[in-house]
Amino acid sequence: MSDEHITEVRTGGSWQLPAIVVLGLVAIGGLGFGWNASSKLDATKQDVATQLKTSEQSVQQDMSSLKDRIAQDEKANADLQGDLKVVTDKLKITQGQLRKTRQETTKLNDETNGKITALDTSVHTELATKAGTDDVKTVDTRVTQVSTDLSSTKDELKMAKSEMGTLIARNHDEIDQLRRLGERDYVEFSIAGRNKPQKVGSMTVELKGVNTKKNQVNLAMVVEDKRYEKKNRSVNEPIFFYTSGTRLPDELVINKIGKDQISGYISIPKANSQPASTSTTSGN
Quick: pLDDT tens for 203-248: 899 999 999 899 899 999 999 889 999 999 998 899 988 888 888 8
- Output the pLDDT for position 139: 52
Burial 65-74 (b: 16+ CB within 10 A, else e): eeeeeeeeee
The residue count for the chain: 284
Over 50: is that where the pLDDT of 9 sits? no
Q: Which residue has better confidence, 181 or 159?
A: 181
- Output the pLDDT for position 278: 37
Quick: pLDDT tens for 219-229: 999 998 899 99
Q: What average pLDDT does range 128-154 have in this prediction?
A: 57
Q: Which of 79-88, 232-241, 256-265 has the lowest mean pLDDT?
A: 79-88
Cβ neighbours for 7, distance < 8 A, ≥ 6 positions apart: none
Quick: pLDDT tens for 90-99: 766 677 777 7
Cβ neighbours for 258, distance < 8 A, ≥ 6 positions apart: 210, 212
Most distant CA atoms of the chain, gap in Å: 196
Q: Which residue has better confidence, 153 or 193?
A: 193
Query: Is this structure's pTM higher than 0.85?
Result: no
Over 80: is that where the pLDDT of 257 sits? yes
Asked whether 236 and 255 are in contact (CB, 8 A), the reply is yes
- Output the pLDDT for position 220: 92
- Output the pLDDT for position 263: 92
- Our CA angle for 94, 95, 101, nearest 5°, is 90
- Output the pLDDT for position 202: 85
- Output the pLDDT for position 201: 86
Return d(Cα 17, Cα 23) in angstroms, integer: 10
Query: Domain residues of the chain, as ranges?
Result: 83-157, 172-273
